[in-house]
Structure 1
């Protein structure tokens, strides 16, 4: 039985079989289970593996994800933000001489994590913490001595974390809109709450307070955070606001770029122009931010720095047996594009015209 035979029986590509048998992301859970079942039924054992030395164990890291919970979907590796993170994590691992394995589990599998780590022959774990509570992370940390949690932080846990400076990024967005002269500012929140979004709201509120403003409850909207297309729920909220107040806020801050792009498309369907009628600011600077029209003003997250910091912290734990946890926060910067303008400005921003050639 060869991989080609398994691929034929499962009606998938050979590469899909390779991903399933190696535990790497790139295929759905049902497809993975079907491939593994066929392999087991036909006695496929794969290539014989040489005994793993202690040194070799320390050259393998595991990227662990609790998928299908909140903002982290089953196909998390296809979500733009996480896709970029994974790319940089793999890049850093290679530069450090490490291999990287991937495993996604559900919330009920916390007790089996040590066995999962052993099965993947990994001596350290990078845990994607985006959608995890303090208790979830505490439970995992109790079972894993070498652990770095990426994309969240809980200050009172004796665990190494690498996170975005979420409050700073949202503060930058709020200060930018106020500086442009916006006073009627709305806020589009995720209807799934995580640590990152709560910190962003705090930062945005701080910027508005400094300018004598606040996020009024009637100008606060809540929608799904993982949809790039227009949303009916968002449209209904905007329509109710229009029916009550006659016009939308002159600017909207969105807790992530998914929401911002969804808002842009929803506003277009309602006949609202961006940025002529409504300015929009997002958060994350995913690759899609420059594909939409107008290009999205957003808070840039240095994903390479997040990924490199997580790998470096874990490698240091492995190589030095460090037992002191470290918390790293990566700052952000605002990227100004075409989805924002000063309120009341009717013409698109102009750029310096180059002299014509003779």
Structure 2
């Protein structure tokens, strides 16, 4: 590939390519970044590239690593709304700081070999790891390959590493208190059939809210479903049908996908939301405003998580920061239309 080819791909002049490669001023940073990315992807490396690499390092890349499994982080995780929104914010934070972001998806079964291959073929300056459902040993293995590491979506307090996660306990506690304020006492809990740090923390926060009013979730009002589908799930429908004479008046769902699935199942059964059962979710994905009724949920500050992750990583890369952090990002309850106060019609709803 020649310099003229680079210019055509970047839609700039040949002189702009020359300026980008020499590291001299005269073009915008966006243009320079675009040109250098094309140069790197094409393998074109003229002698002048030494200067460009020195001043506008082509190795200014961060890697986003997702370890897929059969439970929470699916192979096409990037299509799941929560992860899709989070990745968008991370990409934007990298862009404004002059870094490229590479995506790598590996299965947990071949983690060590995959990490070795990734960092050998294209070494990154640092890694943002989607730590959902990973063990301490798996996270430590990745840290050995790349010590500039920030882990998202989980928090292991005993590891000397950087973790950034939403305040799951607080969010679920907020949801629980809201349902109690609406007068609900017979509250059910819809949990994921795959467990992880976030879900376990949410369960703890929700039960804490109920305990303050000396309430608990009845054993019959615990439900278990898949957290990665948004269709009505047979297991939930079957159990709700069996409880027709003893329905809870409200349900807390461990994530929005579960909440949307639950609303669809209840609609199929002719059980009205929120008139018969109020529903609260967690994550505030975009789909929560599309479902009918719009979902009351816990908002997660995905943009703040992304900003902190990239900033911490760059502090390590550019300034040699060695202090490790465990950051909890507080949540906010978003009240929409899927919840209503308990009324005198509660007994009528239980008799449906």
- Residue 121 (structure 1) shift: 3.1
Counterparts of 1:160-309 in structure 2 under 5 Å? 160-242=162-244, 246-309=245-308
1:119 aligns with 2:94: no
- Residue 247 (structure 1) shift: 3.6
Looking at structure 1, the residues matched to 212 and 270 of structure 2 have their Cα atoms a distance apart, in angstroms, of 33
Looking at structure 1, the residues matched to 100 and 211 of structure 2 have their Cα atoms a distance apart, in angstroms, of 47
Which is worse superposed, 50-59 or 177-186? 50-59
Which of the pair has more CA radius of gyration?
2
3-state SS, counterpart of residue 42 of structure 2:
coil
3-state SS, counterpart of residue 56 of structure 1:
coil
Deviations 1:285-333 (A, max 9, x none): 0000000110000000011111111111111110111222111110000
Which is worse superposed, 53-62 or 151-160? 53-62
Asked if the contact 1:62/1:120 (under 8 Å) is kept, the reply is no
1:315 aligns with 2:337: no
Structure 1: runs of 5+ lacking an equivalent: 1-45, 347-358
Looking at structure 2, the residues matched to 324 and 115 of structure 1 have their Cα atoms a distance apart, in angstroms, of 28
- Residue 49 (structure 1) shift: 3.1
Looking at structure 1, the residues matched to 344 and 288 of structure 2 have their Cα atoms a distance apart, in angstroms, of 23
Looking at structure 2, the residues matched to 299 and 107 of structure 1 have their Cα atoms a distance apart, in angstroms, of 29
Looking at structure 2, the residues matched to 317 and 114 of structure 1 have their Cα atoms a distance apart, in angstroms, of 21
When the two structures are superposed, what TM-score results if normalisation uses the length of structure 1? 0.80
Counterpart for residue 149 of structure 1? 151
Asked if the contact 1:174/1:204 (under 8 Å) is kept, the reply is yes
Distance 1:241 1:134, change over 3 A: farther
Looking at structure 1, the residues matched to 276 and 262 of structure 2 have their Cα atoms a distance apart, in angstroms, of 13
Structure 2: runs of 5+ lacking an equivalent: 1-40, 346-352
3-state SS, counterpart of residue 188 of structure 1:
strand
When the two structures are superposed, what TM-score results if normalisation uses the length of structure 2? 0.82
3-state SS, counterpart of residue 111 of structure 2:
helix
Asked if the contact 2:186/2:217 (under 8 Å) is kept, the reply is no
Deviations 1:110-151 (A, max 9, x none): 223143123233110000011212222122223321100011
1:47 aligns with 2:45: no
Counterpart for residue 71 of structure 2? 70
3-state SS, counterpart of residue 284 of structure 1:
coil
Looking at structure 1, the residues matched to 44 and 189 of structure 2 have their Cα atoms a distance apart, in angstroms, of 54
Runs of 4+ in 1 over 3 A off after TM superposition: 51-55
Asked if the contact 1:191/1:222 (under 8 Å) is kept, the reply is yes
Counterpart for residue 134 of structure 1? 136
Kindly tell me the number of residue pairs found equivalent between the two proteins: 301
